[in-house]
Structure 1
């Protein structure tokens, strides 16, 4: 019986294992997850009855097989949630998606004219090449709007100037959106891009519910999901991986398998292969960077101070990047009606001053920033919980593309190793894309020949996922 080892129990890794057991129950599947719970960044942690979504996860997709898996796993445990979000900038709240009169009243007539003139200028004389995020945005929105709504928030999220972020990231995250389209959406109510959807599905107990249930189903079908199990080494013999070395509470074990699917960070994957890849591959892996993340979940002694799912904080006078209201996602995220649970999200780097700040100081800063923005008084905070999430986002800096090209070429030379998911491909995938890479990896093991590195390119997200691509994919499954 063929044995498959899956490294990582996040959406991509668990989807790989689920798909394998769904398509062939005779395959032996072992999932090793380094954390104490499954789900990766899509997990839902619990603190004194309060459930905490790490980053906020909307369940929306145009990929049919992903939607089918969501329904198969959670069935009736989805709720329909209205999307409400705003942008906080210069002491004002802007509706997001854009509402034309709200935006104009907040910006003012004079600045609105300047934004329009800047937009016309960049339409007439755009950057001839779009190599970085700044150029990409200016060509579509103009320099003035870029300065207001893109530059400060992008620097806060990534910790580097926008002109050091490749245009790939913008093309992937806000594809096919321009100022003219945004204004039309605001006037007509069309909002026809996935980033602007008005409603979405959400598991009633948070996204971790999806992955906890998936792990249960994998084990029910004979697979094994082991927590607190860190893959320390992948043993290689020529062009094949032969075994992994796994450390856990009961010591270190060597596990042999026929096929291996990885979803941990691409940099760490390369560094843990023994004997190591050629030096140029190791050098490429060292060039990959990540952005880390922490959330300070504040418990207030009052009902919800605002109705939004989350608020994007563009102002530079506070460090918080996004603010979640957990009850706005699901009432079951909060254990009572008399308190509120608010997630203050911060983007940082492991080892920097903010990441290493004492918990009590983080709680104090988050409480004061909540008050400074005008959402709630700091003295309303009666409890708090902090979650630090390393490697939350792969960084699309000037080095990443060349590095990934080098690494992917070498990994493709291996006969029985595939890598999937956001960190496994070093691509800022949404959850459904990560799941799709896991599905395709499973199908490759069963005989298909899917290029996982091009999933985001070939079957891109939002409105660009065309019917003919889906029909082509369905035909390939039938052949």
Structure 2
């Protein structure tokens, strides 16, 4: 498939095309290139990707014929243009997958989304009454200020439910107490869910909460298939995706980028790309981006970049010599006695991810920091840890493990700590003054966006080059949350 088959593009012009240098070959960077080629014949996108695979954290890795995701990537959106691009690129390779996910806590499995009778049976009548009483208490006397994740959740679910189902898992994911995480992360990720709404959804079957949808679409060979196909389309229709080419310098004169320097990660050679008459779209992490400028930004901007924090991630994919030990797409592990945070069953996403029907491919996901004890474990130690924890949770015995693949992913999640908002304002204010530059995507905006909102920010950046005036920084900012927060401040 090429862009010509999905879009009635105008005839090619004879004028020279404007170069658009795109930093990063993940969902945001490749979407920007695709959108430009679809909408314009006057721009030539040139994507620089530092690794040998496209897709970023949405890539699909392969080991001995087993394909696996770097964390689960559902394809579900309420953004029409994103939905359209998925189908344009994937065609018949999109499959519909029923969602099945559970929470493991206190030795029991809780359905997620909430199934009221399952939850009552698991937690018991006494504790259920205490949860309800706690919820009512926080409805009568809520936190007047919602600055933190902890305050936001307690106001909607009560302190008791927060203690059971939010605190331990949040600490495992982020490595810091929920009282140190900003409320806007909860507003963005949990959105419009509350205890009463969750109970009503479980009784009525209704569900309009994005994070709890019951089925989703998925590329037959994993999410990386989407971005491999997009890369091929870009290369075939006038753009270029250059692999193993990391951006190491951005020269500027005043507030205009004049040159993009790239380094070949294979041989260390460098190349200079003239950007004086071009445009730059970035999706690399802001902390790294700021330090790539020459001359550097003001000290205040450099200092702000240094305050941006990230959470790293690794996955141990175990191959078992037995069919799937559980039917779920994934299981959230709230149990503090194990280090694993989430467990994927890749056949439940797509049967085509596995080459052998008599085996299982199980992804054990660990949230960590680059350089800490988990990150620096050897591959053999991680395989042993993952196998032991799989057995400890009662899902499969360690002696069924016949293979493993380990992937370490730095800067997987931008952290919404107490410092990020102020630092981001300083950085975004300076970047907005650059004449030929935009930044998009999860790490390019330091926002924990889902894939669809990262793509939308890139679409907006591409359209801005064609005369639009979209504010990419406000993609996926929850208006309802901010309006509510303002009302609370006024009331107090």
Structure 1: unaligned runs, 5 residues or longer: 462-479
CA distance in 2, matches of 1:441, 1:367: 44
Structure 2: unaligned runs, 5 residues or longer: 1-16, 482-492
Q: Deviations along 1:341-362, whole A, 9 cap, x unmatched?
A: 0000000000111100011011
Cα shift at 1:460: 8.7
Cα shift at 1:457: 1.9
> What SS does the aligned partner of 1:439 have?
helix
TM-score, length of structure 1 as denominator length? 0.95
Given the alignment of the two structures, is residue 177 of structure 1 paired with residue 193 of structure 2, yes or no?
Answer: yes
CA distance in 2, matches of 1:190, 1:10: 34
Q: Deviations along 1:338-389, whole A, 9 cap, x unmatched?
A: 1000000000000111100011011000000000000000110000000000
Which of 377, 397, 416 is equivalent to 1:396?
416
> What SS does the aligned partner of 1:307 have?
coil
Given the alignment of the two structures, is residue 309 of structure 1 paired with residue 329 of structure 2, yes or no?
Answer: yes
Given the alignment of the two structures, is residue 356 of structure 1 paired with residue 376 of structure 2, yes or no?
Answer: yes
Given the alignment of the two structures, is residue 77 of structure 1 paired with residue 103 of structure 2, yes or no?
Answer: no
Given the alignment of the two structures, is residue 292 of structure 1 paired with residue 312 of structure 2, yes or no?
Answer: yes
Given the alignment of the two structures, is residue 121 of structure 1 paired with residue 137 of structure 2, yes or no?
Answer: yes
1:26-425 equivalent positions in 2, closer than 5 A: 26-248=42-264, 249-250=266-267, 251-257=269-275, 258-425=278-445
CA spacing shift, 1:458–1:153, aligned 2, 3 Å:
closer
> What SS does the aligned partner of 1:45 have?
strand
Q: Deviations along 1:94-145, whole A, 9 cap, x unmatched?
A: 0000000100000000000000000011011000000000000000000000
CA distance in 2, matches of 1:266, 1:459: 24
CA distance in 2, matches of 1:164, 1:177: 21
Other-structure match for 1:4: 20
Q: Deviations along 1:70-117, whole A, 9 cap, x unmatched?
A: 011011110000000000000000000000010000000000000000
CA distance in 2, matches of 1:123, 1:150: 18
Tell me the C-alpha RMSD between the 2 structures: 1.2
CA spacing shift, 1:273–1:353, aligned 2, 3 Å:
same
Cα shift at 1:26: 3.5
Q: Is the 8 A contact 1:82 1:199 kept in 2?
A: yes
Structure 1 residue runs of 4+, over 3 Å off?
458-461
CA distance in 1, matches of 2:301, 2:418: 17
Other-structure match for 2:463: 443
CA distance in 2, matches of 1:458, 1:114: 31
Q: Is the 8 A contact 1:25 1:221 kept in 2?
A: no
Cα shift at 1:24: 1.2
Cα shift at 1:207: 0.3
> What SS does the aligned partner of 1:352 have?
coil
Count matched residues: 462
Cα shift at 1:25: 2.8
Q: Is the 8 A contact 2:347 2:360 kept in 1?
A: yes
CA distance in 2, matches of 1:374, 1:280: 51
Cα shift at 1:458: 6.7
CA distance in 2, matches of 1:283, 1:98: 43
Other-structure match for 1:466: none
CA spacing shift, 1:460–1:5, aligned 2, 3 Å:
farther
> What SS does the aligned partner of 1:168 have?
helix
Q: Deviations along 1:404-446, whole A, 9 cap, x unmatched?
A: 1111110000110100000000000000000000000001111
